Amino acid sequence: MPSKVEGWKDEAYGNEVREHLLEFAEQGWDAIPADEHDAWFERFKWWGLYHQRSGQESYFMMRIGTPNGVIEPGQLEVIGEIAMEYAQGPASNPEFGDAYCDWTTRQSIQLHWIKLEDIPDIFEKLESVGLSTQQACGDSWRNIVGCPVAGKDKHEHVDAWPVAQELHETFKGNDDYANLPRKWKVAITGCDEGCGQGDINDLAFEPAEKHGEVGFNVRVGGGLSRKEARLARDIDVWVPADRAADVAHGMSALFREYGDRDDRFNARIKFLMDEWGPEKMRQVLQDEFVDFELETAGDDMRDEYTYNSGGNEGHDDHVGINEQPDGNYYVGLNVLVGRMGAEDTLELAELADEYGSGEVRLTQRQNVIIMDVPEENLGDLTSEPLLEDYSPNPSPFMRGSIACTGTEYCSLSIVETKNRQVRYARWLTDNVELPADHEDFHIHLSGCTASCAQPQIADVSLRGMKTRKDGEPVEALDIGLGGGLGEDPRFADWVEMRVPADEVPGAIRNLVNNFKRLRAEGETFRDFVEARDEETLADLVEPEETDYHDPYMHNTKMTWYPYAEDDDMQSSPAPTDGNGQPLPSDD
Amino acid sequence: MTTDVHQLDDGAWISVNGSREVNVSDLWRLAQTDFCGCEMADFLAEGFVKVGVDYPNIEARIAGQCIACGEHGVTDWLTVGRVVDPDSGEFYGVVHESVHFPGKHARNGASE
């Protein structure tokens, strides 16, 4: 029997939801019938709006999809202005202030504390510069990801940006693909470093050569969520760039028709891949969803992949200054945990305009890149005060930190994440020294098994948990080691479970020191982990308290907002009206 | 009226009559269960897998793990609260720190 969500989607979904959304916004929060909240909030996701967690009713997270992370000249200023004007809630974040933008691991933008009543104005501003929230969440084609410097990279086999654009234009707002069984994540890689992260997407196009032409091999069924991590599997198909959209049509139509609509936990195409295997997947695609003969896979270039490969080579995370093919440079800036204050965002937009073309790009490591900077401008740009906080040459612990949204706003998360990871990164920078040959050291903190921070592909993977300390429940983290991508991607081994959050920095310090002590000459951390069994690795992780202080050990989910002075759930001002004034409670 | 129960947002919470009532991330004490070998499981709720009604009880099967021993899986049916008067639809949650006894219930059907 189709799930309840499928029933709601049958009644209204996709493009038509916009009209209802704008009507509700016009009339105010109370206009949404109380017994229809769940159905409408599910539908609003298609328009990039996610109702925030318990205690924050009437406020939404808004996601803006920027394909391939490309923010065109003039767009960033509008994003910053919207954050400043509309993304301010009833309480302040002690690390990031009142208004900020989150750059996500899927090259999108998230704003919080958005009020329903403000949505029409925000949509108008976004659309005035060609931005949209359409399909940023919900069961459809999500934001397409890829190498963030596609088309402006000296290290690419093929410019994948036009392909990403074509897919974006073809599948955004396309009613035929508006209602899929579940989310549909697509990655396109054209570079030689493999930074499109295709292995963890539902559908991946990766550079491959056939008949002397560079096109794409196709992989299907990757994903990290729910302790069911899968790498995308090779379905033995090669397409030239000009037919990528045809195969994308076919694969997403196959998912639409065969994906499980009865059980949302079993709906992602990775589960269909489990059931069918790549041979049947290819056969069904050929027989039912494309009208031309599929070619077998070409020669891939995966042996050149350096991105997150553990090898500490190449320019793979795009932080730093690198030359473009046109002689200009791109300047990749580290944004710790991907969160940037609204004022800083506006400043970044000005700098991008003053020193570059105005174009900025987002990476899948939650960082930003200023594009098209002439060589003569590099000195002045790197002297700007903003680059002291968002450095092109950060410490490895700052550079490698990724964190999801966490209990600050998310219903699913078990623990606080972003502010904690900021504190971790600072403490590790001050107290731990990596070997000199390890500039890249990835620590990803995800608040739960949904894995939005992609913990399984980090050197040190942290996942939200609980434990008891002195009998009291405290926030804790599972620790995994040795994950990464590259030619032979590998998920982390979970070696130490339920470590109290305040003992995690000490555990990482001890782990790094043990690594330095025991490694063979030149051995990478990833190879070091791969060469040892889980028991041995667990012994090398020695959790301990240090002078690191964690202010979020209590159950942050029980608060209405973890950083509010009075954080008790009963003290929440939500729901509020369009002016942020508390509305009468139903209770 | 019929009590409307479902889980949403990847099992993050249970909605009862259109209101968010039970969330993940709480610790539940589970007794007389074969979920793990502990005499009393100290169970972290990570996701609601199924929900159902066995009047007046609202019940759920919950994915998670015992933080004492590390065993993880899905519980049997567990009462998470009650709707005593279906006409008012008012939900009364149980105290999750109290001792609970998972079993085979949800007679009136389970839903996602």
pLDDT at A555: 87
* For residue A249, pLDDT beyond 80: yes
Short-list B38, B92, B88, CA closest to B65: B38
Which residue in B has a C-alpha nearest to residue A36's C-alpha? B18
* For residue A177, pLDDT beyond 70: yes
Q: What is the CA angle A95-A449-B75, rounded to 5?
A: 130
Give the contacts of A309 (CB within 8 A, at least 6 positions apart): A194, A316, A484, A485, A486, A487, A526
Phi-psi region of A223 (alpha: psi -120 to 50; beta: other; left: phi over 0): left
Domain boundaries, chain B: 5-99
A549 and B CB contact within 8 Å: no
Query: Is the CB of B47 less than 8 angstroms away from the CB of A413?
Result: no
User: Could you give phi then psi for residue A208, rounded to 5 degrees?
Assistant: -160, 150
* For residue A587, pLDDT beyond 50: no
Q: How far is A39 from chain B (nearest CA, A)?
A: 9
* For residue A493, pLDDT beyond 50: yes
Residue B67 has its nearest CB partner, among A35, A53, A467, at A467
- Burial (0-12, 13-18, 19+ Cβ within 10 Å), A7: exposed
A280 and B CB contact within 8 Å: no
pLDDT at A315: 63
CB-side neighbour CA atoms (13 Å) of A505:
23
Q: How far is B30 from chain A (nearest CA, A)?
A: 16
As a whole number of angstroms, the distance between CA B89 and CA A436 comes to 63
Q: Which residues pair with B27 in a beta bridge?
A: B44
**Higher-confidence position of B17 and A246:** A246
pLDDT at A265: 92
User: Could you give phi then psi for residue B2, rounded to 5 degrees?
Assistant: -75, 140
When the pLDDT of each residue in chain A is averaged and rounded to a whole number, the result is 96
Helix axis angle, A269-284 to A244-258, nearest 10°: 120
Band (A311; pLDDT cuts 50, 70, 90): confident
Query: Is the CB of A265 less than 8 angstroms away from the CB of B70?
Result: no
Task: Please say whether the dihedral angle defined by the alpha carbons of residues A415, A450, A109 and B8, taken in this order, is positive or negative.
Answer: negative
Phi-psi region of A268 (alpha: psi -120 to 50; beta: other; left: phi over 0): beta
Band (A439; pLDDT cuts 50, 70, 90): confident
Residues of B in contact with A498 (CB under 8 A): 67, 70
Which residue in B has a C-alpha nearest to residue A448's C-alpha? B46
| The pair of three-digit structure tokens given for residue A523, joined into one six-digit string | 């051995």
Residues of B in contact with A448 (CB under 8 A): 24, 46
* For residue B110, pLDDT beyond 60: no
Are B96 and B24 within 8 A, CB to CB?
no
Per-residue pLDDT, averaged over A441-445, amounts to 96
Query: Is the CB of B18 less than 8 angstroms away from the CB of A36?
Result: yes
B97 and A CB contact within 8 Å: no
Residue with tokens 């990835």: A442
Map out the domains of chain A with their CATH numbers: 4-128 (3.90.480.20), 156-304 (3.30.413.10), 324-394 (3.30.70.3340), 399-554 (3.30.413.10)
Query: Is the CB of B8 less than 8 angstroms away from the CB of A42?
Result: yes
Per-residue pLDDT, averaged over A544-556, amounts to 95
Tens digits of per-residue pLDDT, A354-389?
Answer: 999 999 999 999 999 999 999 999 999 999 999 999
Band (A586; pLDDT cuts 50, 70, 90): low
Per-residue pLDDT, averaged over B82-91, amounts to 88
As a whole number of angstroms, the distance between CA A241 and CA A51 comes to 38
Are A478 and A492 within 8 A, CB to CB?
no
Q: How far is B103 from chain A (nearest CA, A)?
A: 23
Q: How far is A36 from chain B (nearest CA, A)?
A: 7
Which residue in B has a C-alpha nearest to residue A45's C-alpha? B9
Task: Please say whether the dihedral angle defined by the alpha carbons of residues A77, A92, A116 and A12, taken in this order, is positive or negative.
Answer: positive
Are A207 and A201 within 8 A, CB to CB?
no
Task: Please say whether the dihedral angle defined by the alpha carbons of residues A490, A495, A497 and A500, taken in this order, is positive or negative.
Answer: negative
Which residue in B has a C-alpha nearest to residue A52's C-alpha? B9
B44 and A CB contact within 8 Å: yes
DSSP string, B33-71: -SSSSSSEEEEEEEEEEEEEEETTEEEEEEEEEETTT--
Per-residue pLDDT, averaged over A57-85, amounts to 98
Q: What is the CA angle A222-A524-A147, rounded to 5?
A: 40
Per-residue pLDDT, averaged over A301-326, amounts to 88
Residue B20 has its nearest CB partner, among A54, A225, A450, at A54
B109 and A CB contact within 8 Å: no
Query: Is the CB of A586 less than 8 angstroms away from the CB of B17?
Result: no
CA dihedral A447, A451, A453, A454 (to 10 degrees): 140
Residues of A in contact with B67 (CB under 8 A): 465-468, 476, 498
Residue with tokens 């009206």: A577
Residues of A in contact with B20 (CB under 8 A): 54, 57
Q: What Cα–Cα distance (Å) separates residue A65 from each residue in A71, A92, A405?
A: 10, 25, 17
Band (A316; pLDDT cuts 50, 70, 90): confident
Which residue in A has a C-alpha nearest to residue B68's C-alpha? A467
* For residue A301, pLDDT beyond 70: yes
Neighbours of A569 (CB within 10 A): 12
* For residue A314, pLDDT beyond 70: no
Per-residue pLDDT, averaged over A260-285, amounts to 97
Query: Is the CB of A414 less than 8 angstroms away from the CB of B25?
Result: yes
Amino acid symbol at A382: T
Residues of B in contact with A34 (CB under 8 A): 18-19
Band (B112; pLDDT cuts 50, 70, 90): low
B90 and A CB contact within 8 Å: no
Are A41 and A51 within 8 A, CB to CB?
yes
Q: How far is A34 from chain B (nearest CA, A)?
A: 7
A497 and B CB contact within 8 Å: yes
pLDDT at B109: 53
β-pairing verdict for A108-115 and A100-103: antiparallel
